[in-house]
């Protein structure tokens, strides 16, 4: 086995799919399959079991997977140490962005980071916050920018705290919210519960006239079109020219939505991760202290 084989096996461990592994490594599926066969011949054992739902590692394959992951981590740490001694920031940074946050900030933030630290290998994924949280638990990300409240025992930085609003097109200004179509959306359980709480407090939860969409962008577009009203955080309201009503709970507490950076324990010591966090916090004018 060589470094390319280590990377193939480790990537298969992340994706559990030969097609996605080939795409990520810019290889053909047949080339991936050929390397797997050679590894199996080298160790005289089956590495994988294929199914319609993806691939599964055999017991021997799991041992080989652990070895490949550990070897790549040790090699990356060695490269970082050597480069750091020569005042160069390099290595690999595995970062996840929540879809809604990444839509507005990912491109500019990564461009700034790459310009400052061009030798860092960036591995970026975008997903729902709940999925990113799962990847953090599994250790497949070094850090993640996540929206909502998730328990985390590693370093955690608050990146933003936004006001949440009820919003609608000006064409609905003469009507009460109870008369209008409510546009709900799928989101994380914490925010869903907060929205339900506010709706119940305002006696709007029983409104049976609803549309439910699966993302914040579609929700905003429907509001813009005048179909109905929705509950949206400030991040989704750039250039919004309709009516915004700041939401408060009955006890006077503002309805807010927080964005956090979650970091793996120990990862904060890696220079490429420390500098990424500092850059993101500086771009958002946030103090550099864990929450």
Q: What is the pLDDT of residues 218-229, one digit of tens each?
A: 999 999 999 999
CA separation for the pair 166, 235 (Å, rounded): 13
Q: Which CATH number fits domain 161-257: 3.90.1300.10, 3.40.190.290, 3.30.300.130, 3.30.300.10?
A: 3.40.190.290
Nearest Cα to 140, choosing from 239, 226, 73? Answer: 73
Neighbours of 211 (CB within 10 A): 15
Q: What pLDDT does residue 290 have?
A: 43
Greater pLDDT, 93 or 205 = 93
- Determine which helix (DSSP H) or strand (DSSP E) holds 244, and give its type and residue range: strand 243-246
pLDDT above 60: residue 238? yes
What are the distances in angstroms from CA 260 to CA 18, 130, 137?
33, 13, 15
pLDDT of residue 83: 66
Compute CA 130 distance to the chain's CA centroid, rounded to the nearest angstrom: 8
Which tens digit of pLDDT belongs to each residue from 240-273?
999 999 999 999 999 999 999 999 998 888 889 9
What's the confidence (pLDDT) of residue 124? 95
CATH number of this structure's domain 1-86, picked from the four choices 1.10.3720.10, 1.10.10.10, 3.30.200.20, 3.50.50.60: 1.10.10.10
At residue 52, does pLDDT exceed 90? no
Residue 231 confidence (pLDDT) above 70: yes
CA contacts within 13 A on the Cβ side of 246: 6
The burial of 262, by beta-carbon neighbours within 10 Å (0-12 exposed, 13-18 middle, 19 or more buried), is given as buried
Backbone angles phi, psi at 5, to 5 degrees: -65, -40
Q: What is the pLDDT of residues 135-167, one digit of tens each?
A: 999 999 999 999 999 999 999 999 999 999 999
pLDDT at 28: 92
What are the structure tokens assigned to 113, written together?
């980071």
Share of the chain above pLDDT 70, in %: 95
Instruction: Check pLDDT > 70 for residue 109.
Output: yes
Cβ contacts of 144 within 8 Å, gap of 6 or more: 95, 96, 97, 98, 132, 133, 135, 136, 261, 262
Map out the domains of the chain as residue ranges: 1-86, 161-257
287's tokens: 């103090």
């Amino acid at each position: 086995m060589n470094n390319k084989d280590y990377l193939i096996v480790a990537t298969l461990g992340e994706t559990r799919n030969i097609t996605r592994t080939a795409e990520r490594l810019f290889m053909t599926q047949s080339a991936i399959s050929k390397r797997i066969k050679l590894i199996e011949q080298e160790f005289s054992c089956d590495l994988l079991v294929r199914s319609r739902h993806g691939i599964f590692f055999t017991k021997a394959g799991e041992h080989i997977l652990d070895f490949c992951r550990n070897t790549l981590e040790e090699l990356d740490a060695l490269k970082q140490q050597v480069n750091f001694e020569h005042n160069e920031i390099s290595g690999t940074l595995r970062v996840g962005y929540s879809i809604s946050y990444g839509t507005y900030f990912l491109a500019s933030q990564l461009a700034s980071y790459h310009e400052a630290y061009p030798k860092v290998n960036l591995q970026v994924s975008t997903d729902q916050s709940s999925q990113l949280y799962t990847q953090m638990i599994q250790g497949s990300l070094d850090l993640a920018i996540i929206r909502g409240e998730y328990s985390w025992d590693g370093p955690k930085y608050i990146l933003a705290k936004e006001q949440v609003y009820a919003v609608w097109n000006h064409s609905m200004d003469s009507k009460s919210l109870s008369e209008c179509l409510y546009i709900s959306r799928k989101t994380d359980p914490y925010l869903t519960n907060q929205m339900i709480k506010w709706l119940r407090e305002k006696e709007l939860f029983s409104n049976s006239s609803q549309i439910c969409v699966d993302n914040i962008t579609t929700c905003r577009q429907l509001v813009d079109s005048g179909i109905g009203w929705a509950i949206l955080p400030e991040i989704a309201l750039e250039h919004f020219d309709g009516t915004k009503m700041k939401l408060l709970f009955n006890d006077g507490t503002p309805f807010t939505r927080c964005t956090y950076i979650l970091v793996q324990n120990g990862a904060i010591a890696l220079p490429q991760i420390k500098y990424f966090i500092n850059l993101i916090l500086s771009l958002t004018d946030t103090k550099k202290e864990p929450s």
